[in-house]
Amino acid sequence: MKKINNKHFQIIEYEEINKNDVDKKYFKELEEIAQTTEFLSYSKKGVLKSQNYVGIIQTKSGFVLEILPKVSAGNDTYEESKIILIEMIKTLKNHPFKKLSTANLKTEKMSLLEIFISFFLNELDVLIKKGIKRDYISIQDNQKFLKGKLLINEHIKKNLVHKERFFVEYDEYIEDILENRVIKTTLKKLNKLSKNFENQRRIREFMFVFDGVGEIRSLSELKKIHIDRSKKYYENVIEICKIFLDNKSFTPYKGESISFAILFDMNKLFESFVGYWFKKHCDNVKLQHKKYYLFDVDKKYRLTPDIVIENKIFDTKWKIIESLDDILGNDFYQMFAYSQKYNSKEVTLIFPRVHNIEEQEFGFDEEYKLKVRFIDLKNCEKEVKRIIND
C-alpha cells in the first residue's frame, strides 16, 4: 500500500487494507463500500481486500483510493501497473478514453484521476480550437421594445399596468446550448476534484472560455443530448463529461460512502487487451463470437468465446493462478462445450502470468485438446504472437 498523502492511497489489486493503514473515519467508509459493492471485500475482521476492479474511488469525506492491476508475483511497482492499466483502457472498443495518451505527462507524479482529467482537458482544447458551437435558442422575455413575436396572452397578464413593455418570443444565436452547459458543469466539478496545479490552471482558463454559458440543473438533462453531424466533434468530450458527471459506462454502485468513482472490471479489460493484440497480428479474428447456444432447440445459454480464429477457440480469464489447481472445473466444462459446438480440436484458456507456472495441455479425448497459456501483461503483444504461432 502506497501513501500519497493522508487522504490519498494507492493499492495493487488483491492487496489488503488494514484498519491501521488509514484514518479510522476513512476505513469505516471503505467498510461500507465493501458491504454494498463488489469493489472491496472482507478477507478477515479488520482487513479489506480489493479484487477484480481497478480505478478510482473517492469517498464522501474526500479520501481517494486508487486501485491498480496486479501484474507480477513480487512487489508490483505502482508506476508500471498504472502504465499497463492505461494501455489496457485504450483497447476498450468505442470508449471515450480510447485515445488516452500519457506521452506528455509526468505520470509518476499524477494520480489516475489527474491523468483522466488531463486527457479530458486535451480533448476539450481540440474542440475549442475547432470552434464552440452556437445555436438558435427560443427566448421569452418581457422587454421595453418589440422584438420577434408578441405573445398576446402573456403580454396582457404581465403588462396590464406596464404599458411600456412587451412580452415577446424571439430566437437568438448563442453559445448557451445544452452541450456547452454540460461541459461548463463538468469543468466546475473537476475544479473541485483536481488537486494538480497544471490541471487546475487549465480548468480555470476553459471556464473563462465558457463564461457566457450556464450549467445543467439535473443529470436528467444528459439524456436530452443529441449529437448530430454538425456537432460530431463534440461527441468524445460529451461522453467523457457523462463519465465525470454520472459515471456512465462503468459499474453502478450503491451506498452513501462513495461520492465519485471511475472503476473498470478487470475481466473486461483483460479480454479487450488480449483481443486487441490478436486482431493486430492475425487475420479472420472474431471477438465475442455469438453463433451457438448450449441448447440449440430452446436457444438457451448462449456460448460466447472471447476469440475465434476459424475453428480455434481462445478464452481469457482474469484470475491470479498460483498453481493449476486454481483453475476451476467450470472453466474446463466451458471450454469442452466450446470444443464440441465449434468442432474445435484445439481450445485455449488464457490467464495473466503473475506466478511462474508451467503451461499445460490436456486431452478431452484423443482428438480434442485444451491448452492452458499464461500472458505476461508487460509484454502482451509478444506473448499473443507466441500463442498464435504455438
Domain boundaries, the chain: 1-95+249-265, 135-174, 282-389
Over residues 94-99, the mean pLDDT reads 85
C-alpha cell at 186: 463538468
pLDDT value of residue 249: 47
Q: What percentage of the chain exceeds 70 in pLDDT?
A: 92
DSSP state, 96?
Answer: T
* Residue 92 DSSP symbol: S
Residues 315 and 183: their CA atoms lie apart, in Å, by 40
Tens of pLDDT, residue by residue over 114-123, are: 999 999 999 9
In the Cβ-directed half-sphere of 55, how many Cα atoms lie within 13 Å?
21
Digit-coded pLDDT (tens) for 328-378: 888 888 888 888 888 888 899 999 998 888 888 888 777 888 999 999 998
Does residue 375 contact residue 352 with C-beta atoms inside 8 Å? yes
Give the C-alpha distances (Å, rounded to integers) separating 32 from 39, 258, 270. Answer: 11, 9, 28
Strand order in the sheet with 8-12: 2-5, 8-12, 64-68, 53-59, 258-265
**pLDDT computed for residue 272 by the predictor:** 94
CB 221 within 8 Å of CB 182: yes
Spell 280-312 as b/e; 16+ CB within 10 A means b. Answer: eebeebbbebeebeeeeeeeeeebebbbbeeeb
User: d(Cα 358, Cα 356) in Å, to the nearest integer?
Assistant: 7
pLDDT digits (tens, 9 = 90+) for 167-210: 777 677 678 899 999 999 999 999 988 888 999 999 999 999 99
Strand ranges inside the chain, DSSP E: 2-5, 8-12, 16-18, 40-44, 47-50, 53-59, 64-68, 135-143, 149-150, 166-174, 258-265, 285-287, 293-295, 300-302, 307-309, 312-316, 346-352, 360-363, 369-375
Strands (E), 16-134: 16-18, 40-44, 47-50, 53-59, 64-68
**Helix residue spans in 194-315 (DSSP H):** 197-209, 235-246, 266-281
Specify the pLDDT at position 235.
Answer: 93
Which residues, other chains included, contact 285 with Cβ-Cβ below 8 Å and sequence gap of 6+? 275, 278, 279, 307, 308, 309
133 burial (CB, 10 Å; 0-12 / 13-18 / 19+) is middle
Which range among 60-69, 168-177, 247-256, 267-276 shows the weakest confidence by mean pLDDT?
A: 247-256
**Residue 220: is it exposed, middle or buried by C-beta count within 10 angstroms (0-12/13-18/19+)?**
exposed
Average pLDDT of the chain to the nearest whole number: 85
Answer for the pair 335, 347: CB distance below 8 angstroms, yes or no.
yes
**Residue 354 or 108, more confident:** 354
- Of the listed ranges 20-34, 35-49, 61-75, 162-176, the least confidently predicted one is 162-176
pLDDT of 254 over the 70 cut: no
Q: What is the pLDDT of residue 373?
A: 93
User: Helices 112-130 & 235-246, crossing angle to 10 degrees?
Assistant: 140
